[in-house]
Structure 1
Amino acid sequence: MAVELEPLTPENVRAVCDLRVAPGQEHLVAPNAVSIAEAYVYPQAWCRAVRSDGRLVGFVMLWDSPEELGHMLWRLMVDASAQGRGIGRQVVGQVAAYVRAQGVRELRVSVVDGEGGPEPFYRSLGFARTGEMADDEPVLALGL
């Protein structure tokens, strides 16, 4: 299953906003419309729509700056209809490759702590806790 990251455009932005996580996951990631609004006011935001086999299935946003937070995976969301197919893994791999190509040695992410949270997913990709907190969420890092 091919996964592609594409810029947000007038043609795809509404469809990105219509994507939804599975029931019970709403507390784990902000709605895409909120993320896009934040990206509008933070020039460090690097956003991409996620397509799999030609179908829009997700959204990813990176804090793309060597200063402040460094390179942090800010948002990752896969639509409920596409979860469990390895799409998130491929997206993180592509984001890591993008960051690595800039000469960056670490990709970070903060996670909602607790049952049902994404920490096991990120750990399975090689991320490890740093001991830092960001907005009351533990930070994990992946060496590149």
Structure 2
Amino acid sequence: MTVRLAMITPDNVEAALRIRVRPEQQRHVEPVAVSLAEAYAWGDTAWPRLILDGDRTVGFLMAFIGIPWNPAVDPGDRRSGLWRLNIAADEQSRGYGRFAVGAVGEEIGRRGGDRLFTTWEQGESGPGAFYTKLGFRSTGETSGGQTVGVLDLTHAS
């Protein structure tokens, strides 16, 4: 596997927009087009990337870097993590999701962070089992009705 991340550019944006998850997963993750619009709106806090295996587009991820989580409660609580993960339907179960989480963790670590946050919807076709298998634990919080999970990067494998 020669998996790598690539910035979204005019040359690959169409490939990004063609990524589709499995039909039963569509209610759990926004389409890439929505993520790219949010990346534009969030500017420097959004970190969108294509996931490539060789020259083949296999997925999309978007991280968030250093956003204020709940400034009214704790102004110093700034979090970074995985905002979106879309692995193409026919590319799932090949390690690309695990690679994506690891790559986001590395980027957060390069920026001085030691925790990787994400959210997921509960449900049979939701990604909760995937995240808990990677070592995420629930924080007991919710965001937009989704479970908030955290991965301690100082102990991640």
Taking structure 2 as the reference length, what is the TM-score of the superposition? 0.88
**Structure 1, unaligned stretches of length 5 or more?**
none
How far apart, in 2, do the equivalents of 1:19 and 1:105 lie? 30
**Structure 2, unaligned stretches of length 5 or more?**
70-77
How far apart, in 2, do the equivalents of 1:134 and 1:17 lie? 26
Question: Does structure 1 conserve the Cα–Cα contact (< 8 Å) formed by 2:15 and 2:57?
Answer: yes
Shift of 1:128: 0.4
Q: 1:99 to 1:124 in 2, by over 3 A?
A: same
How far apart, in 2, do the equivalents of 1:126 and 1:101 lie? 20
- Do structure 1's residue 88 and structure 2's residue 97 form an aligned pair? yes
Which entry has the higher C-alpha Rg, 1 or 2?
2
Question: Does structure 1 conserve the Cα–Cα contact (< 8 Å) formed by 2:81 and 2:104?
Answer: no
Question: Does structure 2 conserve the Cα–Cα contact (< 8 Å) formed by 1:72 and 1:107?
Answer: yes
- Do structure 1's residue 101 and structure 2's residue 113 form an aligned pair? no
Shift of 1:53: 2.5
How far apart, in 1, do the equivalents of 2:67 and 2:11 lie? 31
Match of 2:132 among 123, 132, 137: 123
Question: Does structure 2 conserve the Cα–Cα contact (< 8 Å) formed by 1:47 and 1:62?
Answer: yes
Indicate the residue corresponding to 1:60 in structure 2: 61
How far apart, in 1, do the equivalents of 2:142 and 2:81 lie? 13
- Do structure 1's residue 15 and structure 2's residue 24 form an aligned pair? no
In structure 2, what residue type is equivalent to 1:11? D
Question: Does structure 2 conserve the Cα–Cα contact (< 8 Å) formed by 1:3 and 1:91?
Answer: no
Aligned length: 144
How far apart, in 2, do the equivalents of 1:72 and 1:118 lie? 15
Is the partner of 1:11 in helix, strand or coil? coil
- Do structure 1's residue 111 and structure 2's residue 112 form an aligned pair? no
How far apart, in 2, do the equivalents of 1:87 and 1:99 lie? 18
How far apart, in 2, do the equivalents of 1:26 and 1:84 lie? 17
Structure 1 stretches of 4+ with a deviation exceeding 6 A read none
Taking structure 1 as the reference length, what is the TM-score of the superposition? 0.96
How far apart, in 1, do the equivalents of 2:124 and 2:92 lie? 18
How far apart, in 2, do the equivalents of 1:2 and 1:91 lie? 13
In structure 1, what residue type is equivalent to 2:145? D
Shift of 1:116: 1.3
CA RMSD, Structure 1 to Structure 2 (Å): 1.1
